[in-house]
Amino acid sequence: MTKVRRVALAPFANGAELALSIHEVKGNQGDGPTLGISAAIHGDEPTGTHTVMEIARRHGEGGFRGRLLLLPVANPLAFEANRRCTPLDSQNLNRVFPGNPGGWFTEQLADRIKTEFLENIDAYIDLHSGTDRPTVDYVFIHNAEALSRSFGSRILFRAEDGKGGSAFKASTKSVTMALGVPSVTVELGGGLIDQTPYVARSVAGIENIMRKLGMLDGDPVPPPAQIAVHSIAYIRPTKGGFLVTEAPPLGEEINGSAVLGRVVSPYTFAELEVIHSPFERGIMILAHLTTNLVQPGDFGYMVGDMEGCQHLDGA
């Protein structure tokens, strides 16, 4: 059965009190590890929260070994506001770990997540998505390549400092990896499209990781043929307006200088900017799948560099 623990954070000036909800589900099939799953560290990425809800629904009766510790909404203020960062202090929760009990509110929040959640698990899955506009599809390789591969996504990112890896020095993974906890970051879903297929993929990937950990019966599904890139370019528009995508679907290759998208003025209808792929051989990782309004500096596209990538054989 599921037990929900309310972790009080702080009273606010309006009299309300903020709290974290941590769900504990104990398996009834024997001993096993404690798997922690978090979502909505960035408040504008709700797909992971839907996934955690579905995991709790499917496994709430405990038909597995070990324990699930679920944090469906890691940043309630940002989640409520549909914002990446905490509205109270404009801090990015995933850049302030291990936190500070006497620091900015977001640092206090990170400290409580560390002590109440991250320090009490044996394996960790952190769910992210592409907000309510762009859509993303890849999985990070941190310190548990077999688990990352078991999730089943075709594109993996072996992060390196200066190429996307430095951000994790102050993320939840900086805590879990320092403790030797096998850690996986999933980036899947988002956009102004139905999230049901992404939630279903995430649930299947998590359950496959649970098989890999020995928490569920049966052999894990072998991973497909996968590509591990070492570098990802974040391409942001420099003009605001409608972003009209011309990029290929996620997971497909794109040649150097090919057009990713165009920014068009909704007022004059003029083309303001043409956005090109930065690599001679790239692979699509994040894109706007619909025509969306963007501001200068918004997430536009993410393209993995196929130069020096690693091809990992499937089953």
Who has greater pLDDT, 87 or 165? 87
Residues in a beta bridge with 217 = none
CA distances from 199 to 11, 47, 49, 128, 150 (A): 34, 7, 9, 11, 16
Overall average pLDDT of the 126-135 stretch? 96
Confidence of residue 169 (pLDDT cuts 50, 70, 90): confident
Which fold does the domain 232-312 belong to in CATH?
A: OB fold (Dihydrolipoamide Acetyltransferase, E2P) (2.40.50)
The rounded distance, in Å, linking the Cα atoms of 231 and 285 is 11
Q: What is the pLDDT of residue 257?
A: 86
Overall average pLDDT of the 121-149 stretch? 97
Q: Domain segments of the chain: what residues? A: 2-224, 232-312
pLDDT higher than 80, residue 72: yes
Overall average pLDDT of the 30-44 stretch? 98
Residues 80-96 have pLDDT tens digits of 999 999 999 999 999 99
HSE-up of residue 243 (Cα within 13 Å, Cβ side): 29
pLDDT higher than 80, residue 163: no
pLDDT higher than 60, residue 136: yes
Class of domain 2-224: alpha beta
* Ramachandran quadrant class, 248 (left: phi over 0; alpha: psi -120 to 50; beta: rest): beta
Q: What is the pLDDT of residue 314?
A: 79
CA distances from 12 to 31, 76, 82, 212, 284 (A): 41, 13, 19, 43, 43
Let me know: does 187 contact 129? Beta carbons within 8 Å: yes
pLDDT higher than 80, residue 204: yes
Let me know: does 40 contact 48? Beta carbons within 8 Å: yes
pLDDT higher than 60, residue 164: no
Q: What is the pLDDT of residue 261?
A: 98
Overall average pLDDT of the 37-65 stretch? 97
Identical fold at 2-224 and 232-312?
no
Confidence of residue 167 (pLDDT cuts 50, 70, 90): low
Overall average pLDDT of the 250-277 stretch? 97
